Chain A
Amino acid sequence: MAFKDAEHAKAYWSENLSLVFKLLVVWFVVSFGFGILLVDVLNEVRFFGFKLGFWFSQQGAIYTFVALIFVYAYKMNALDKKYGVDE
């Protein structure tokens, strides 16, 4: 094991889980939230030529997804360094 002790491994794992959880909240909000559940409300708003809810469902959610995975990769690599488990 590369972790110093079990305590260390536990801390790493819980930071990992909390990062994933936060990112998944955003994931849920932009797709299921803005794109589906709140679509009628958001469609009242104009975003250029789009209705906003429609835009989230066909464009906005996808852009957010891409950003989420890059944030994840970046933050996890930093976390690995912090706990000395990077390669």
Chain B
Amino acid sequence: MDVQGLTFLIVGLSFAMYIGIAIWARAGSTNEFYVAGGGVPPLANGMATAADWMSAASFISMAGIISFAGYDGGVYLMGWTGGYVLLALCLAPYLRKFGKFTVPDFIGDRYYSQAARVVAIFCAIFICFTYIAGQMRGVGVVFSRFLEVDIETGVYIGMVIVFFYAVLGGMKGITYTQVAQYCVLVFAYLVPAIFISLMMTGHLLPQTGFGGTLSDGSGLYLLDKLDGLSTELGFAQYTEGSKSMVDVFAITGALMVGTAGLPHVIVRFFTVPRVRDTRISAAWTLVFIAIVYTTAPAVASFARVNMIDTINGKDGSGTLYEEAPQWIKNWERTGLITFNDKNGDGRMHYSAGKVGDPASANEVSVDRDIMVLANPEIADLPAWVIALVAAGGIAAALSTTAGLLLVISTSVSHDLLKRTLKPDINDKQELLAARLAAMVAIGISAYFGINPPGFVASVVAFAFGLAAASFFPAIIMGIFSKRMNKEGAIAGMVTGIGFTAAYIIFFKFVSPELNSAEHWLFGISPEGIGLVGMMVNFFVAAVVQRMTAETPDEIKEMVEGIRNPKGSATAHAH
């Protein structure tokens, strides 16, 4: 069977499985719709959380970004996994004990203020939307390449699938579909990586393979060869990178605290029965994430060497365009690879610089987002592996989209309607509102999938920065400081968000021409400014708290309760 037939088969089978599970697990009450009745075992919850959290960005884009950025790409690896440590140690067990459904619930109750709740609701919705836009696009890209349909059709198909298990199935459906999706995703990620690692270095584990010697007889370490190639072609050394240390520090920090504040991940920890299960579930989640995240940098360096070798030829003299391998032709059709024969010798040559710039010798541009998808083709792996990667990419995008949709729908139906605007609605109406909100959200995200704003990447920086500057400090102070009052928390959130948003908007949208290191505050790029925003939030909150009224006694008691791990089961059954 050819690649396309196999892709249909494997993607079709995986879909049948997801939908089957969703129907089998159809949710009844609102409690089940949101958090699967609190009855998911820690290991399964760990897998589901990992799937929820590893988005199309992790699966499709991350290795590609690292492939092009080398050491600098490490900010994503350390940032996203390091954020998990913060989440597991400082947030998850306490929020589980608190026992409410959502982050705005915590903020609203802990700071005894509807204003704080509403601020949190809007942050949550905004963060989720910026994420979803990218996911839907991811689904569309995968479909359009492998099924050879246009991107709109791809997005529509994705919409229908998401509708089925997010809206009809609810969270319980999602928890078990996400377990299935994790399995598909990790299998699809590892199989090509292991194949390529064996081919290039003879190591079974990609994690050690990229530190091994090449099996082409040269005896060179793979990373040394890569450093050599990079320098030769005018790039920074692969293992050194080109960002300044302060910027790498700030971006890593912003991604860490931003991750810890992501609402769709936090809500996951409400699905296990006891506080101790939350702790162990978080540990399993990171194991499952680490399997992919330690493989990604290996995939990145293999792909980089392979790509340069195929385009420039083993001897570096350039491959004849006429004899270019099929994958180059395939991706050229999607516009994600372009070739411009500047010196007219009929050979492709890849080096630093832009293809469109006549002063640069570079003749080939390769979009970094295609690296993971094209990797099996570049390494000439069997067709079923290519099909598997397509299924994995779709699994990653769909699982995250579903989790985000759930947060949007609960924010609207539970936080905004039930807790703020119309407290007298019953369970059934709340569930209906949740489903309607999810439908509207799917529609809007599909629109963004079809007509992506040109600034998706900038918007993602926005989401992390805002989460870092708003939720993270508010939740941390809510747990670890009994004295933090509503005035302090609200002032902190507002100034933190305001500062971060202003900085990002200024450099990304108002004056993008100034967006370079000499104009940045302390040399920190907009991607890393969330870390400064977080500090502003903490500082302002501490100052305002000292000048305003003390927290009421019942709030102090509530914080005492959160710190005591016992008794969360009763807290849940409300």
> A: which residues have CB within 8 A of B?
1-3, 9, 12-13, 16-17, 20, 23-24, 27, 31-32, 35-37, 39, 43, 47-51, 54-55, 57-59, 61-63, 65-66, 68-70, 72-73, 76-77, 80, 85-87
The answer to whether A85 touches B78 (Cβ under 8 A) is no
Other than A48-B211, A49-B223, give 20 A-B pairs with Cβ distance below 8 A.
A9-B564, A20-B90, A31-B252, A35-B74, A36-B245, A49-B213, A50-B211, A50-B239, A54-B71, A58-B294, A59-B294, A59-B297, A61-B81, A62-B78, A65-B82, A65-B286, A72-B88, A80-B276, A87-B565, A87-B568
Sorted nearest first, the 7 A-B pairs with minimum C-beta distance are A49-B221, A57-B74, A49-B211, A73-B279, A58-B297, A2-B566, A69-B283
Q: Smallest distance from the beta carbon of A59 to chain B beta carbons, Å?
A: 6
Instruction: Give the distance in Å from the alpha carbon of A1 to the alpha carbon of B567 in the complex.
Output: 9
The answer to whether A62 touches B294 (Cβ under 8 A) is yes
Measured between beta carbons, the chain A residues less than 8 angstroms from B564 are 1-3, 9, 12, 85
Contact check: which of A23, A27, A62 meets B293 at CB < 8 Å? A62
Measured between beta carbons, the chain A residues less than 8 angstroms from B88 are 69, 72
Q: Given contacts A47-B211, A49-B213, A54-B71, are A86 and B566 in contact (CB under 8 A)?
A: yes
Instruction: Give the distance in Å from the alpha carbon of A27 to the alpha carbon of B85 in the complex.
Output: 8
The answer to whether A77 touches B81 (Cβ under 8 A) is no
The answer to whether A87 touches B78 (Cβ under 8 A) is no
Measured between beta carbons, the chain A residues less than 8 angstroms from B566 are 2, 80, 85-87
Q: Smallest distance from the beta carbon of B222 to chain A beta carbons, Å?
A: 6
Measured between beta carbons, the chain A residues less than 8 angstroms from B280 are 73
Instruction: Give the distance in Å from the alpha carbon of A20 to the alpha carbon of B85 in the complex.
Output: 10
Instruction: Give the distance in Å from the alpha carbon of A70 to the alpha carbon of B290 in the complex.
Output: 13
Q: Given contacts A66-B283, A80-B276, are A57 and B90 in contact (CB under 8 A)?
A: no
Is B540's CB within 8 Å of the partner chain A?
no
Q: On chain B, which size bracket covers the interface? A: 35 or more
Instruction: Give the distance in Å from the alpha carbon of A72 to the alpha carbon of B93 in the complex.
Output: 11
The answer to whether A49 touches B85 (Cβ under 8 A) is no
The answer to whether B93 touches A32 (Cβ under 8 A) is no
The answer to whether A66 touches B249 (Cβ under 8 A) is no
Beta-carbon nearest neighbor of B285 in chain A = A69
Is B387's CB within 8 Å of the partner chain A?
no
Chain B: interface secondary structure? helix
Instruction: Give the distance in Å from the alpha carbon of A13 to the alpha carbon of B569 in the complex.
Output: 21
Q: 28 A-B Cβ contacts within 8 A?
A: A3-B564, A27-B85, A31-B82, A32-B249, A36-B245, A36-B249, A39-B71, A43-B240, A49-B222, A50-B211, A50-B223, A55-B211, A58-B73, A58-B77, A59-B297, A61-B81, A62-B81, A62-B290, A63-B290, A66-B290, A68-B89, A69-B88, A69-B89, A73-B279, A77-B279, A80-B276, A85-B566, A87-B568
The answer to whether B276 touches A48 (Cβ under 8 A) is no
Is B140's CB within 8 Å of the partner chain A?
no
Q: Smallest distance from the beta carbon of B58 to chain A beta carbons, Å?
A: 13
Most A CB within 10 A of own CB, among B82, B287, B568 = B82
Q: Smallest distance from the beta carbon of A55 to chain B beta carbons, Å?
A: 7
Q: Smallest distance from the beta carbon of A73 to chain B beta carbons, Å?
A: 4
Measured between beta carbons, the chain A residues less than 8 angstroms from B197 are none
Within 8 A of A (CB), among B207-259: 207-208, 210-213, 221-224, 239-240, 245, 248-249, 252-253
Instruction: Give the distance in Å from the alpha carbon of A1 to the alpha carbon of B77 in the complex.
Output: 41
Measured between beta carbons, the chain B residues less than 8 angstroms from A80 are 276, 565-566
Measured between beta carbons, the chain A residues less than 8 angstroms from B347 are none
Is B459's CB within 8 Å of the partner chain A?
no
Q: Smallest distance from the beta carbon of B412 to chain A beta carbons, Å?
A: 33
Q: Smallest distance from the beta carbon of B570 to chain A beta carbons, Å?
A: 11
Most B CB within 10 A of own CB, among A3, A23, A27, A50 = A50
Instruction: Give the distance in Å from the alpha carbon of A72 to the alpha carbon of B211 in the complex.
Output: 30
The answer to whether B77 touches A69 (Cβ under 8 A) is no
